[in-house]
Structure 1
Amino acid sequence: MFYASTYRQLQPLFVACSLAAAMVAPIAHAQTATAPASVAAPASNLGPGVIAKVNNVAITEAQLLRAVQQSGLPDSLNLRAALKSQLVSRELFRQEAEKKHIYDNRPEVKQAMQEAKDAAITQLYLRDAIKPAPVTEQQVQAQFDSIVASLGDKEYKSRLIQVGDAATAADVLAKLKAGADFGQLAQQVSLAQNKVRGGELDWISFKTPAQEGHTQNLPLPIAQALAGLPVGGLTPTPVNWNNTYFILKLEQVRPTQVPKYDDVKAVLRQQQEATALEKATIAVVSNLVKQAKIEQ
């Protein structure tokens, strides 16, 4: 397991920044999207870049690529065939509705057109205004080296149950000591997001004794408790941190598995590019906020 994730808490002002970054990414992706080499496009006599015509109205390869990107599904010939059928059907519907001339002036149509225009010009502005700093190979290598240096000689596989008060924590721990299944109990009572996985945590490694800021984003009391457990052991008492209570079970320990740089550099680059995009977005939003009169 490789520990490269970091969790930042932005101030409320920067909620807009995340939204802006989310908006600018799809348009940039759509402009550069190309068909994967493994997906062969069938030959067409309809004209360059045209995949179908509906009453002489062209449906283009670019439209299909955007539909593939927006679907979020792996590109394939079957997906493209299904989306192409949807585009053809949509064009048929549009033409039939347009013939009736009764929809043009309806308020909901005008509102939808205005919203689509607003979204398009906003995305174009964000693409032009937000210029993330490029990420270099040296930066990616430095991040990899820093992460490797922060790892301990062992890594831990564990489960965790999070509850909101001491009484519930004591009850959960008593049930576990009496033989209750940790995974099932986690699914039933845990407040943590990993409850759906029975409280399972990813492999994690850190130097011991655990020190603040050097626990791979694991809260220090939890890291300290985890490092002190025998394999198969439960925390003898609930761990109190940030007004919540945690019960841990250590399932496995093994020597730390450090991946090869070439196997993880793409992921590290993506993380750094996302951070650069966030920083550039914050700068743009902050500048606009300073110049604007905002009343709430």
Structure 2
Amino acid sequence: MKKYSPLSFVAASAFCLGAAFNVSAQAAAADLPAGVVALVNGMPISQMELDAAVQESHQPDTTRLRQLIKQQLIARELFRQNAEKQHYDSKPEVQQAIDVAKINAETQIYLRDNLRPEAVTDAQIRARYDEIVGSLGKEEYKPRVIAVADDATANTVIAQLKAGAAFDAVARQYSVAPTRSAGGELPWVSFKAPVTEGKTQGLPIALAQAIIQLPVGGITPTPIVTADARVIVKLDAKRPTNVPSFDQAKDAIRAQLKTLALEKAAAAFIAEQLQAAAIRQ
């Protein structure tokens, strides 16, 4: 099955051609084979392909969305046909993309068929839930962070914040943390006081200590030095800790433990494969 990719140009083209598609859609619908939503110069676009594209869009499944995505699929198929008529399929960059896609598919399917992660038990889920609940403090905090690589950049960031620049805008400009695109926003976190090593929800202890000491709206006046960064923290909000029930949390914990089990199985499998291989580098 062809994989749908929501390319902006294809979407724009489909929108522009939407009227033309709609004119013939109702008249031709009765003549389509079962399981086919459109024919483009005789080439079918299947219901399964449309369903997959709707699911991959991560938008509410509505009649309007389905019509829009169907138009995008029609536009893409039309472009593909015209490109092949002009032998774009033989261009080196296209062949390279095909080779990369083939390697990725082979690797993913091979790993899917050969990894054997340990099953996650109900007892493990309960133990993890108890561990999480036991680590929570009376309050939880909503912080933002800006992480930079050196003191000079940290001083620039602090100067801009003191001059009134918005924290999220400065984060998007300077931060090297994964939260950069979200304006430095972190999830809600909670720690027991005093903060102790290993019970900081994955944050460096100095960062956790700074978070619980800040007033709402406050920003650390100097950067916090971690192993690989200089971090400026802002506290957006604070509230009493909301502890979810076990039934509310168990599905998320199960998914987390399954991911960890898969990562562990993958690491062991890779080590085994490397040990058996002849590699020079």
Scaled to the shorter chain, the TM-score interval is 0.5 to 0.7
Task: Measure the CA separation in 1 of the matches of 2:252 and 2:240.
Answer: 23
Q: Is the 2:83–2:89 Cα contact (8 Å) retained in structure 1?
A: no
Coordinate RMSD, CA, aligned: 4.0
SS in 2 for 1:295: coil
Counterparts of residues 28-177 of structure 1 (less than 5 Å): 46-54=32-40, 57-92=43-78, 103=87, 106=90, 108=92, 117-166=102-151, 169=154
> Secondary structure at the residue paired with 1:204?
coil
* Alpha-carbon shift at residue 248 of structure 1 (Å): 3.4
Q: State the 1:90 CA deviation.
A: 4.7
Tell me whether 1:211 sits opposite 2:196 in the alignment: yes
Q: Per-residue deviation at 1:258? A: 1.1
Output the amino acid matched with 2:115. I
1:104 and 1:160 map into 2 onto residues whose CA distance is 46
What's the secondary structure of 1:206's corresponding residue?
A: coil
Unaligned runs of 5+ in 1: 1-25, 27-42
Alpha-carbon distance in structure 2 between the residues aligned to 1:185 and 1:97:
44
Q: Tell me if 1:289 matches 2:277.
A: no
Q: What count of residue pairs does the alignment treat as equivalent? A: 253
Query: Do residues 276 (structure 1) and 276 (structure 2) align?
Result: no
Q: CA deviation at 1:242?
A: 1.7
Provide the secondary structure at the position in 1 that maps to 2:238.
strand
Deviation at residue 211 of structure 1 after TM alignment:
0.8
- Secondary structure at the counterpart of residue 202 of structure 1: coil
1:266 is the counterpart of 2:251: yes
1:267 Cα shift?
2.4
Instruction: Note the 1:175-186 alignment, pairs <5 A.
Output: 180-181=164-165, 183=167, 185-186=170-171
Q: 2: distance between equivalents of 1:210 and 1:223? A: 7
Larger RCO of the pair (alpha carbons < 8 Å, separation 6+):
1
Contact 1:182–1:198, Cα closer than 8 Å, also in 2:
no
Deviation per residue, 1:178-228 (Å, 9 max, x gap): 663562555555444445555444332111111110111121112223333
The CA distance in 2 between the partners of 1:204 and 1:68, in whole Å, is: 34
Q: Helix, strand or coil: the match of 1:215?
A: coil
Q: TM-score, normalised by structure 2?
A: 0.68
One-letter code aligned to 2:164: A
Kindly provide the amino acid, as one letter, of the partner of residue 204 in structure 1.
Answer: V
Contact 1:130 1:280 in 2 (8 A): yes
Q: Which amino acid aligns with 2:47?
A: E
What is the identity percentage for the equivalent residue pairs of Structure 1 and Structure 2?
46
Q: What amino acid is aligned across from residue 270 of structure 2 in structure 1?
A: V
Deviation for aligned residue 1:129: 1.8
Could you tell me which runs of 5 or more consecutive residues in structure 2 were left unpaired when the two chains were aligned. 4-28
Deviation at 1:256, TM superposition (A): 1.2
CA distance in 1, matches of 2:104, 2:179: 35
Aligned-partner residue type, residue 65 of structure 2: L
- 1: CA distance, partners of 2:197 / 2:249: 26
